[in-house]
Amino acid sequence: MARIISVANQKGGVGKTTTAVNLSACLAHLGKKVLLVDIDPQGNATSGVGVEKGEVDECIYDILVEDVDATEVIRSTPLAGLEVLPSTIQLSGAEIELVPTISREVRLKRALAAISDKYDYIFIDCPPSLGLLTINALTASDAVLIPVQCEYYALEGLSQLLNTVRLVQKHLNTELEIEGVLLTMLDARTNLGIQVIDEVKKYFREKVFETIIPRNVRLGEAPSHGQPIIVYDAKSRGADVYIELAKEVVASGERVR
Ligand code: ADP
Ligand code: MG
């Protein structure tokens, strides 16, 4: 059975997609079998692993709304060991279309349950909202990984996210844990970054990953080439830190088991 981890934060631009793509790719690089589930209508995780959105005919929308089998929608990627459940803009209608449907919160969970034994890890890249798509992701997951950008007001909005996590734990998925809080886009030249690290650690304590993701130009460039950092520039600092994070995720999973 795969360990299923949602990458969630309703704030946009905090590094969710960058983390979902690169953590997935680094775990595949380390020999794990990984599925990346793109549940954001923007489809940036899909294109980020080299799948052209224009060439996708069935996407996660068809799984959630049309009950199509996940196996029919899964695509391989140029990186061995990494597959993707793609998203397209069609998914933007799902949030509303799902509202009147039966078992609307557990559709992704059911779809992934049927395929989860084929993978070691499944990562779900969430949209920047706390709507039904994110609820589906949290309900399907063993754990949630929360990227927090090292900037002013870093903690703002996190109480809403934690509240949603608690509601899902209470009503839909009692097993859901917090995998960890990941500090992203640290600019080591400023004091602000250091202050934010202290503040986040005070609040989340041992839940904060030891690995901190710095700002790295190569990480910002890789998506426009449709490549994870480990493919785009394996020697970059960005590749190093996401490999480090991948190892931390593996180690914490082994402690749990
Ligand atoms: P989200 O999915 O939370 O909206 P993204 O992962 O798409 O956030 O990141 C927002 C933007 O910042 C993207 O253009 C991405 O390429 C860039 N970015 C993310 N992390 C880094 C980083 N560590 N260094 C440089 N640029 C980054
Ligand atoms: Mg994103």
- In the prediction, which pLDDT does 60 show? 97
Q: What ipTM was assigned to the predicted interfaces of this complex?
A: 0.99
CATH assignment at residue 188:
3.40.50.300
Pocket of ligand 1 (CB under 6 A): 12-18, 44, 128, 184-185, 213, 215-216, 219-220, 223
Atom of ligand 1 nearest to the CA of 18: 6
What's the domain count of the chain?
1
Q: Give me the helices (H) in 50-157, please.
A: 60-64, 70-73, 94-97, 107-113, 132-140
Tens of pLDDT, residues 109-139? 999 999 999 999 999 999 999 999 999 999 9
Nearest ligand by distance to the CA of 212: 1
Give the mean pLDDT of 216-239.
Answer: 98
Residue nearest to atom 18 of ligand 1 (CA): 220
- In the prediction, which pLDDT does 191 show? 86
User: Does the model's pTM come out above 0.95?
Assistant: yes
Q: Taking Cα atoms as reference points, which of 64, 113, 118 lies closest to residue 92?
A: 64
User: Which among 7, 18, 130 is the best mutation to test ligand 1's pocket, defined by most ligand atoms within 8 Å of the CB?
Assistant: 18
SS3 call for 186 = strand
Supply the range of the domain harboring residue 173.
Answer: 3-256
pLDDT interval class at 255 (50, 70, 90): low
In sequence order, which residues have a C-beta less than 8 Å from that of residue 118 and are 6 or more positions away?
A: 2, 33, 35
**Of residues 153 and 169, more confidently modeled:** 169
- In the prediction, which pLDDT does 94 show? 94
Give the mean pLDDT of 30-55.
Answer: 97
Question: What's the CA gap between 147 and 39, in Å, rounded?
Answer: 16
Nearest ligand by distance to the CA of 14: 1
Give the mean pLDDT of 32-57.
Answer: 96
Alpha-carbon distance values, 256 to 25, 176, 248 (Å): 23, 13, 12
Atom of ligand 1 nearest to the CA of 223: 16
pLDDT at 2 over 80: yes
pLDDT at 257 over 70: no
- In the prediction, which pLDDT does 256 show? 57
Name the DSSP letter for residue 156: T
Q: What is the mean pLDDT of the chain?
A: 95
Give the mean pLDDT of 13-39.
Answer: 98
- In the prediction, which pLDDT does 244 show? 98
In sequence order, which residues have a C-beta less than 8 Å from that of residue 159 and are 6 or more positions away?
A: none
Give the mean pLDDT of 34-41.
Answer: 98
Residue nearest to atom 10 of ligand 1 (CA): 13
- In the prediction, which pLDDT does 134 show? 98
Distance from the alpha carbon of residue 72 to the mean position of ligand 2, in angstroms? 24
In sequence order, which residues have a C-beta less than 8 Å from that of residue 196 and are 6 or more positions away?
A: 148, 150, 151, 152, 154, 183
- In the prediction, which pLDDT does 216 show? 97
pLDDT interval class at 239 (50, 70, 90): very high
- In the prediction, which pLDDT does 131 show? 95
Amino acid at position 93, single letter: G
- In the prediction, which pLDDT does 28 show? 98
Burial 72-107, CB ≥16 within 10 A → b, else e? ebbbebebebbbbbbbbebbbebbebbeeeeebbbb
